[in-house]
Amino acid sequence: MDRAKIKKELEMLAAEGLPAEEPTEEAAPEPQAADEEQDAKKSKKAAEEPPRVNGLLETDYNARGFHLDVQVNPDQVVAAAEILDREGLTMEMVTGVDWLKENQFEVVYDYSYTGGELFRVVVRARIDREKPDIPTISEVYPGANWHERETWDLFGINFVGHPQLERFLLPDDADFHPLRKDFKP
């Protein structure tokens, strides 16, 4: 594993995706700004995260629990997984976050290195809530199969190309996605 190489390759990948990302980025700041104002009222300690450089953020491990945080385009998650796979990292989990106010889903991939020196990478991609399609990484990491299936089950995020996108933890006849923020039991 070569940290610098991972960082460089992911940075190149994330930078590639930047122009295409612009429309969503321009749309996003408004609700975010409103969000932050509200938060400032609630807690005086507003988040002071450094801005992302080319979609890449080196996080403080002691404060966050991971070293590298990469924002990519939804169609780049497979390429990101391939980069990390080449360097021998493990896929730890795949999960989703429902950002209802911004009308987006965030898919979060956690990678870690089990071969020795600790290194944790978070890859995240945002997709439209109305059309939640994202390619599957289960071709690269077969272990992602179950995680993606669970994420589909609980969020309704459609992993395009997934071999078996069926109900997993919920019963087969369930017609809801309980981790969506607008889910009413």
Partner 1 sequence: MSTLLGQSQLQETFELNIGPQHPATHGVLRLKVTMDGEYIVKAEPVLGYIHRMHEKMGENRTWNKFWPNLGRLDYLSAIAYNHGYAGLVERAAGIEVPERAEYIRVITVELNRIQSHLLWFGAFVLDLGGFTPLMYAFDEREQILDLLESVTGSRLTYCYFRFGGVYNDIDDDFITGTRAFIKRFRPQIPMYHDLVTGNVILMERLVDIGHVSSEMCRKYGATGPVLRGSGVNFDIRKNEPYSVYPEFDFDVPVYTECDSMARYMVRMKEMEQSLRIIEQALDKIPDGPYIAEKVPKMIKPVKGDYHFAVEAARGTFSMRTVSDGTNQSYRMRLRSPTYSNLSLFEEASRGMLLADALAFMGSLDLVIPEMDR
Q: Give me the residues that bind partner 1 (CB under 8 A), please.
A: 35, 39, 42-43, 45-47, 49, 62-66, 69, 88, 90-93, 95, 97-98, 108, 110, 112, 114-118, 120, 122, 141-143, 145-146, 154, 167-171, 178-179
CB of 24 to partner 1, least distance (A): 19
Q: How far is the CB of 70 from partner 1 (least distance, A)?
A: 13
Select 127 or 154, whichever has its Cβ closest to partner 1: 154
Of 25 and 166, the one with the shorter C-beta distance to partner 1 is 166
Nearer to partner 1 (CB atom), residue 16 or residue 180: 180
Pairing of strands 120-128, 104-112: antiparallel
Please tell me the chain's helix, strand, coil percentages from 3-state DSSP, rounded to the nearest 5.
Answer: 35, 25, 40
**DSSP letter (8 states) at residue 69:** E
Rounded distance between C-alpha atoms, residue 13 and residue 24, angstroms: 18
SS3 for 150? helix
Of the two residues 16 and 179, which places its CB atom closer to partner 1 in the complex? 179
Q: Which residues pair with 69 in a beta bridge?
A: 57, 122
Q: How far apart are CA 21 and CA 24, in angstroms?
A: 6
- To partner 1, the closest distance from the beta carbon of 6 in angstroms equals 15
Q: Both tokens of residue 179?
A: 């981790």
- The CB-of-66 to partner 1 minimum distance in angstroms stands at 5
